Amino acid sequence: MANIFYQVMISSPAQTEQLAHILASLSRKGDTILLQGPLGAGKSVLCRSFIRGVFNDQTMEVPSPSYTLVQHYDHDGKQVVHFDLWRISSEDELYELGWEDMDEAIVLVEWPERLKHFMPQTALHVQISFVDAESRPELRHERVFFSQAEKNQGFEPKKIEPEKEKDHEEGRIFQLKGWEDRNLLETLIRAGMVVEVIENSWQVLC
């Protein structure tokens, strides 16, 4: 089982939302979900729908943590913490963000490469890619000026604000690994999603 992962084909925003709600329904206190993928692939979209699914509130305000680095949600005995670690340059910053105090929360992490040895041993890994890399959405970039310390670390401006995509949704591939005890495959199939079981070596990017 260690080398098995699920590949889900997504062709619309509605399907991304559906996948997020499935993951939300299977999530438990203490879970960590690590999201990887290029800019504009849909990490933040998935997180937003996931958080709304956990709290069963489709109108819930879910701001991006791109500037704040972390957003906390706590309601009705449920906690979700959403990290965007792109601008993290040291482990001390993780301590400052309270990374070690997340035992009671469901944790979403964009750009988990920054975790390094803080990488959890058990997590759901979600890797997102475009079906056709040549036809990725057109995005409008606005430069973010980093501090000198960040420049010395070699970071490049990456914030997209606001994100502008084409009116139609490009196809995405979501690769999921983990949660072997959650009946994830069965739940995806029952929901009518297009799923392929891949038996191969999983190459985690982080």
Residues of the chain with confidence (pLDDT) below 50: 1, 135-151, 157-168, 205-206
pLDDT for 170-190, tens place per residue? 689 999 999 988 999 999 999
This prediction has a pTM of: 0.79
| pLDDT reported for residue 203 | 57
Whether residue 176 contacts residue 4, with contact meaning beta carbons closer than 8 Å, is answered with no
Compute the distance between CA of residue 35 and CA of residue 176 in angstroms, rounded to an integer: 10
pLDDT for 56-86, tens place per residue? 999 999 998 988 899 999 998 899 999 999 8
